Chains A and B, each alone.
Chain A
Amino acid sequence: MGDHHHGPAKGLSRWLFTTNHKDIGTMYLWFSFAMFILGGAFAMIIRAELFQPGMQLVEPAFFNQMTTLHGLIMVFGAIMPSFVGLANWMIPMMIGAPDMALPRMNNWSFWILPPAFLILASTLFMEGGAPAFGWTFYAPLSTTYAPPSVTYFIFSIHVLGLSSIMGSINIIATVMNMRAPGMTYMKMPLFVWTWLITAFLLVAVMPVLAGAVTMMLMDIHFGTSFFSAAGGGDPVLFQHIFWFFGHPEVYIIILPAFGVVSQIIPAFSRKPLFGYASMVYATAAIAFLSFIVWAHHMYTVGMPIAGELFFMYATMLIAVPTGVKVFNWITTMWRGSMTFETPMLFCIGFLVLFTIGGFTGLMLSIAPADFQYHDSYFVVAHFHYVMVAGAVFSMTAAVYYWLPKWCGRMYNETMGKTHFWISFIGFNITFFPQHFVGLAGMPRRIPDYALQFADFNMMSSIGAFIYGASQIMFLYNVIATIVAGKPTSDEKVWDGAEGLEWTVATPAPYHTFETPPAVR
């Protein structure tokens, strides 16, 4: 072997200067887990305060900072980077490419993330406290009434938006140009497909978010009046711009999760994915529809009736491609030789709970009903069913599924299954009662509540502590696997798994597919 086949550099510089897609993927995954723990800690503070009615632990102002930072960190720090990390690790291996198309930009797009979140987290220690206007940062709360730290928040959104855009450009360039010979678009694994479409969504809407925060910056510091009625602007304009970004954003979060589930369910059903082509078209349809439904987040701002109807019908239409996906997954399992290892358990958990979240989404899409549900805990329950049981469960499944390939060691299956069941039960104890208190009228983002909501809130809090604690078990299991898991050298760790990533050695060597594989 010549110099060409070198391994990783030693020490810290390996991680600082690496252009290896596996190293960068690993850093993304660890970073996002750290953010998941931080955002989770904020959630624990929220649930501890809500354990009983009345003011218990924290000041209302601090409570608002917690809900804001919890949302921002979970969306931008935990879920999005975790899937980018997974894309970095898996896409080159799935399409038979030696690395990402733009490895130096890849390094850069990761390394600007930690400073961005450091800036965001540091606002907690600033005068006036951290941003307290909710993760949706509606103007004028985030402009006229914002704490001084809002400028740091804006800068951090700019930086992490830049990171996302660079990561997406990289993924698109990789998928379009670096597929192995014979790997046509319609032969790509579904995870690659969903990420390709997600990356296009990101390139289209992250600049819109950057535009929104830039307008905030100008309103706050440069005397413009985009969102200030006194100067001829309009706060409702902010909501339109935010949700024009925000609705595609929720599909940015969930589409890669769909991709993961579409890889894992066939593997443990020992059947090819049912309806591959329809899965691809459904993904594209969801991506298209995501651009024309944004105002269903703002039914109550006083839209004309024609607007309400348009956004209501367009939103309901999304249930069609999503239903296609859910039925395809179920049909894949139908009469398969199913086994229930941890990744499969998480995928089935995903399927059940995501579908519940989808149904509550349909309820919320009905404009006249939404006037009742708007800004209630019902909404909180809805989006945690799709974000946590959707994105986080599928991400957890992905880690269990590919971890043996990454490090050449098996995780502890018993502990994995225990983690699943505690998560599943804890999650439902946390969020199912929130449907009830929401329908009964409990508003979101409040540190105190009426006495009749006390029992369900206590239940919710207990569930949250259980769910939170189960993530420590996950962390322990992953570290124990890397350090002292049972070694495995099977190329195909799972006997039903299909795809190019299972044709390389286990653990995956530092460089793979330096000569492209032949794809039939």
Chain B
Amino acid sequence: MFRVSKNPTVDITAKLVVVSIAMFAFVFVVMVPLYNVLCDVLGINGKTDGTQYTSVPVAVDESRTITVQFVATNNEGMPWEFSPNVTAMKVNPGAVNDTVFRARNPLTKDMVAQAIPSISPSRAAPYFHKTECFCFNQQPLSAQTDAEMPLQFIIDQELPKDIQTITLSYTIFDITEAASGSVAAR
């Protein structure tokens, strides 16, 4: 076996110190990325792919209709008015669908928000493709203005047949401080 030192105590101590440092690093370089990869692959936590989907044009499956429900939630302390324009849509898999969420900043200061999506049932998450989403970017909104935030999505034709309803929920977070922090850092 590989020996660090001829002195067996120094040898085992050095090896164990390396193991401790490796386990510390393991948390950062393995556990965190692995968790995110697993969530993406398995669709755990209803996480949708956070990136833009570019589709190959495919036939629209008109044989079935999926109900997509929209839910908007404010994270604790977030003062914006935030709601979907329509609360539910009936769509065909493969078709490109558009909808809009409305947001209003009622305060007298400029703010930045970030919306975080979640899909239920989580099994449907890998089949819910967004070609355009306000959640891809931070959303700045000046004091006392409102905005329409677009969402464009396609339901994959491969969606399991037993799923007839998908709920897409957005939670909106106030990240004004974090956003201004990154500006200051720049």
Interface, chain A (partner B; CB < 8 A)? 101-102, 165, 168-169, 172-173, 176-177, 203-208, 210-212, 215, 223, 225-226, 229-232, 234, 236-237, 240-241, 244, 302-304
Contact = CB atoms under 8 A, between A and B. Distances in A.
A204 B22 CA distance: 9
A101 B19 CA distance: 19
A223 B9 contact: no
Interface stretch (B39-47, B58-66, B81-89, B126-134): B39-47
A422 B94 CA distance: 72
Contacts of A231: 114, 175, 178
15 contacts: A169-B17, A173-B12, A173-B13, A207-B24, A207-B26, A208-B27, A211-B28, A223-B181, A229-B75, A229-B171, A230-B175, A234-B35, A234-B45, A237-B31, A303-B44
A67 to B, nearest CB: 23
A101 B9 contact: yes
B54 interface: no
A230 B75 contact: yes
B97 interface: no
Contact of A230 (B22, B32, B173): B173
Contact of A177 (B9, B24, B173): B9
A389 B162 CA distance: 50
A240 B16 contact: no
Given A204-B19, A211-B27, 8 more contacts: A102-B9, A169-B16, A208-B24, A210-B24, A230-B173, A231-B175, A234-B45, A237-B32
Nearest to A169: B16
Nearest to B177: A223
Contacts of A223: 178, 181-182, 185
B1 interface: no
Contact of B20 (A102, A165, A173, A229): A165
A295 to B, nearest CB: 11
A230 B116 contact: yes
Contacts of A236: 45
Contacts of B174: 230
A230 B77 CA distance: 13
Contact of A237 (B17, B35, B178): B35
B160 interface: no
B173 A172 contact: no
A302 B23 contact: no
Interface string B103-122: 00000000000101000001
Interface of B: 8-9, 12-13, 16-17, 19-24, 26-28, 31-32, 35-36, 39, 42, 44-45, 50, 75, 114, 116, 122, 171, 173-175, 178, 181-182, 185
A179 to B, nearest CB: 11
A176 B1 CA distance: 15
Contacts of B185: 223
A329 B122 CA distance: 47
Secondary structure of the B side of the interface? helix
Contacts of B22: 207
Nearest to B47: A234
A230 B178 contact: yes
A230 B9 contact: no
Contacts of B44: 302-304
The 6 closest A-B pairs by CB, nearest first: A211-B27, A230-B173, A207-B23, A207-B24, A169-B16, A177-B8
Contacts of B19: 203-204
Most chain A CB neighbours (cut-off 10 Å) among B26, B45, B50, B173:
B45
A246 to B, nearest CB: 13
A204 B23 CA distance: 6
Contacts of B178: 223, 225, 230-231
A215 B29 CA distance: 12
A176 B17 CA distance: 16
A304 B32 contact: no
A240 B23 contact: no
A236 B75 CA distance: 17
A237 B34 CA distance: 10
A207 B18 CA distance: 11
A205 B171 CA distance: 34
A223 B116 CA distance: 18
Contacts of B171: 229
A208 B23 CA distance: 6
Contacts of B21: 207
A36 B174 CA distance: 43
Which has the most chain A C-beta neighbours within 10 Å: B24, B35, B175, B181? B24
A234 B39 contact: yes
Given A230-B173, A232-B50, A304-B122, A241 B23 contact: no
Given A101-B9, A223-B178, A304 B42 contact: yes
Contacts of B50: 232
Given A203-B16, A223-B181, A230-B116, A244 B31 contact: yes
A212 B35 contact: no
B122 A169 contact: no
A130 B122 CA distance: 38
A302 B47 CA distance: 12
Contacts of A244: 31
Contacts of A203: 16, 19-20, 23
Contacts of B32: 215, 226, 237
A240 B8 contact: no
B142 to A, nearest CB: 20
B116 to A, nearest CB: 5
Contacts of B116: 229-230, 232
Given A229-B116, A302-B44, A212 B27 contact: yes
A207 B27 contact: yes
B45 A207 contact: no
Given A207-B21, A230-B178, A102 B122 contact: no
Nearest to B35: A237
Contacts of A172: 12, 16
